[in-house]
Copies of this chain bind each other. A is one copy, B any other.
Amino acid sequence: MVSALQKYATLLRQNEFKATQPRVKILEVLDKSPQPLTASEIHEKVSTLDIDLATVYRTLNKLADAGVLNRVELGDEFSRFEYKRVANHHHHHIICDSCGKIVEINLCNLDAIASDIAKSTGFTNIQHQVVFRGCCERCALKVS
């Protein structure tokens, strides 16, 4: 228990942040979540500590800027955040249009396309961001 929280405190100090209770708790919640979470979802999950929503936002922004978290945009009005488990591990997500479930996708062959785009548009330093949407297995059963 204590050692688990130490892990987050150490991670914070390594990135020149003070290891405060709100930050440790937020990291714990994100580490344990199987999918990226919105600020509001995180705020609910840490409600036992009465952490202010503004603190959640400030923490998420700072940790994402420092590279401790990934900021995930899925094309709706929310920014989501996920614990970065492997440094720079490149992946994408698929979100269920019906229930909002999000699953990680590890296939990606867009780098070849990027060089074609560079050639045709003159853009350089091309990054990409992909979101898949669909209907998850559970929701497919409900509908039919």
Contacts and interface: CB of A to CB of B under 8 A. Distances in A.
Contacts of A134: 117-118, 123-127
B133 A127 contact: yes
A103 B126 contact: no
A133 B128 contact: yes
A107 B128 CA distance: 13
A137 B120 CA distance: 11
Interface in A92-144: 94, 96, 103, 105, 107-110, 113-114, 116-118, 121-137, 140
A72 to B, nearest CB: 10
Contact of A128 (B114, B132, B135): B132
Interface in A54-76: 73, 75-76
B110 A117 contact: no
Contact of A133 (B122, B126, B140): B126
Given A73-B75, A124-B140, A117 B105 contact: yes
Given A73-B75, A94-B117, A109-B109, A135 B124 contact: yes
A117 B132 contact: yes
A109 B105 contact: no
Contacts of A131: 128-130
Contacts of A116: 107
Contacts of A121: 94, 103, 105, 136-137
